[in-house]
Amino acid sequence: MSDARTDASPTAAPSVVVLDYGSGNIHSAAKALEAAGARVTVTADRGAVIDADGLLVPGVGAFQAVIAGLRSVRGDELIERRLAGGRPVLGICVGMQVMFERGVERGTESDGLGQWPGEVTELGAAVLPHMGWNTVDVPEGSVLFRGLERERFYFVHSYAAQHWSLEALAPFPAPKVTWAEHGTRFIAAVENGPLSATQFHPEKSGRAGIRLLTNWVDSLRS
C-alpha cells in the first residue's frame, strides 16, 4: 500500500484512503481496492483523507460502535468536508448504514451522519443474520453495477435501511438506489453524487465485488 497523493496523469492509479477508525475489515477492503487498481493507504490522517481521490468507509459490528469509532477520529467531519467539495466517498456495510439519520438496534437509537434521511432497522426475516449470497435489483444507468446487473453479492447483516425518501432537486441527477430482499425488501446500494455505498461486502464478493470496486475506482479518474 502506498502513500495517498494526487497525480494529474489520467493513467495513474487513483489514490484511495481506507479510513482507519478501528473497524475489523479494513485490510481485506484495502487488498480488494488494490486488486481493483487503486493506490491504497489505511489511515485517519486528516490531510491524507482530504487529498485522496477516493475515501472508503468500512464498517462491521454495531451501528452505535461504528459511529463512536468514526467520531473518535473526526471521521464524521472528514466525510462531510469531502462531500461538500464533491470528493467521492464509498461506504461498505455499516459504513453505508451510518450515512442515514438514525440506527435502531435492540431498542437503542443512535444518531447517524445524516447524509440521507431515514433509519436503519432490523430486517423482518425469519432467519437472521442475512448471511450469504444474494441477487440485487439494479437501477438503469448505475455506474457501480455496470456489467454486473445479473451478479450476486455477499451479505452479512441483520439491519438495513428499508425505505428511501430522498428526491433529487434540479439540476442534480436522481440518486440510483439498488434493492435486495431477505424477508423484506431493503436497500443494497446507493449512488448519490459523490456519495456511494453498499450494504453487502464487495471485498467478500469474489470477482463481482472486485469488478464493482474497479467501476468505482475508474470513476475517480474523472
Whether the pLDDT of residue 66 is over 60: the answer is: yes
> Is the Cβ–Cβ distance between 54 and 216 less than 8 Å?
yes
* pLDDT given at position 7: 45
* pTM of this prediction exceeds 0.75: yes
Q: What is the mean pLDDT of the chain?
A: 94
pLDDT category, 8, cuts 50, 70, 90?
Answer: very low
Q: How confident is the model over 17-21, as a mean pLDDT?
A: 97
Q: Which helix (H) or strand (E) holds 122?
A: strand 116-122
> Is the Cβ–Cβ distance between 162 and 119 less than 8 Å?
no
What residues are labeled active site? 93, 201, 203
Alpha carbons 149 and 157: distance in angstroms, whole number: 22
Alpha carbons 161 and 156: distance in angstroms, whole number: 14
Q: Which residues of 52-63 are buried (b: 16+ CB within 10 A; e: fewer)?
A: bbbbbbbbbebb
| Peptide bond connecting 129 to the previous residue in cis, omega within 30 degrees of 0 | yes
> Is the Cβ–Cβ distance between 10 and 214 less than 8 Å?
no
* pLDDT given at position 1: 52
Phi and psi dihedrals of 195, rounded to 5? -105, 120
pLDDT digits (tens, 9 = 90+) for 177-187: 999 999 999 99
Q: Which residues of 16-42 are buried (b: 16+ CB within 10 A; e: fewer)?
A: bbbbbbebebbeebbebbbbbbbbbbb
* pLDDT given at position 222: 75
Q: How confident is the model over 133-160, as a mean pLDDT?
A: 98
Q: How confident is the model over 165-172, as a mean pLDDT?
A: 81
The percent of residues in the chain predicted with pLDDT above 70, rounded, is 95
Q: How confident is the model over 90-100, as a mean pLDDT?
A: 98
Q: Report the interhelical angle of 63-72 vs 75-84 (nearest 10°).
A: 80
* pLDDT given at position 10: 56
* pLDDT given at position 6: 43
Q: Which domains does the chain have, with CATH numbers?
A: 15-219 (3.40.50.880)
* pLDDT given at position 159: 98
Q: Which residue has the cell 464498517?
A: 59
DSSP string, 20-84: -SS-TTHHHHHHHHHHTT-EEEEE--HHHHHHSSEEEE---S-HHHHHHHHHHTTHHHHHHHHHH
Q: How confident is the model over 31-50, as a mean pLDDT?
A: 98
